[in-house]
Structure 1
Amino acid sequence: TEPPKKKAKTDGEPARRRPKRSAVSRMEAQKEEMAAERTAAREAKVKAKAQREKSAKERAKKRAAQEKEASKKKADREKEKVEKQAAKEAAAKAKEEKKAARAKEQAEKKALREKNTAAKKET
């Protein structure tokens, strides 16, 4: 009723077993592993934060560029609107002046006609 022994290797030597690790060395290894995990987690956190900040900066830069472009477009539209209004007013003024000049010319013609008819009546 003995427990079965490990089989010997072919050359007659007994099978080598892995030497037992002491509980202390196991705990030390576990501590080191946990420390390494914490370090990796901390590094990952720092890296993620840096990435977030970088992308936030990029977004802010894009937003600023878009706002600048939008304000420029708005200013251009406003300028065009003002120019269009000025052109419209100038055209209206020119039309009025033309109308006034025509009326004056017609009045002069009428006066000349009346003068001529009055002169004919006298003779």
Structure 2
Amino acid sequence: MTAKKILLIDDEPDIHKIAQIGLMLECGWQMLTATSGKAGLSLAIAESPDAILLDVMMPDMDGLATLAALQKNAKTRSIPVIFLTAKAQSADRRRLYGAGAKGVITKPFDPTTLASQISGYLGWSL
């Protein structure tokens, strides 16, 4: 199986480190990172990742605005997006799924199960 390429868009550097360790150790996936919605959008266009992990709350361009921009672009609209959020209330989840999310992972997450959570949401085998 070819290693997946995952783009993580999150403004917290610690989240980048934790996720990267989990994905590399668990299944050897490549991880790209961006610290803002705008940078993430540019990277998604340039790299065509297999999936995007997207923080909901970020300064300037939040997760929902970033998802809307991804959906408007022909090069990125088919990339599945899974949100990372500390807000896990059912109303928040409904709003994220309604916007087009393929999954919602609650922060803090367990890095040792991150790849299996992503795979479960997207129907990938590990």
Q: Which TM bucket (shorter chain)?
A: under 0.3
Larger RCO (CA under 8 A, 6+ residues apart) = 2
> By percentage of residues, which structure has more strand?
2
Larger radius of gyration: 1
TM-score normalised by length of structure 2: 0.13
> By percentage of residues, which structure has more helix?
1
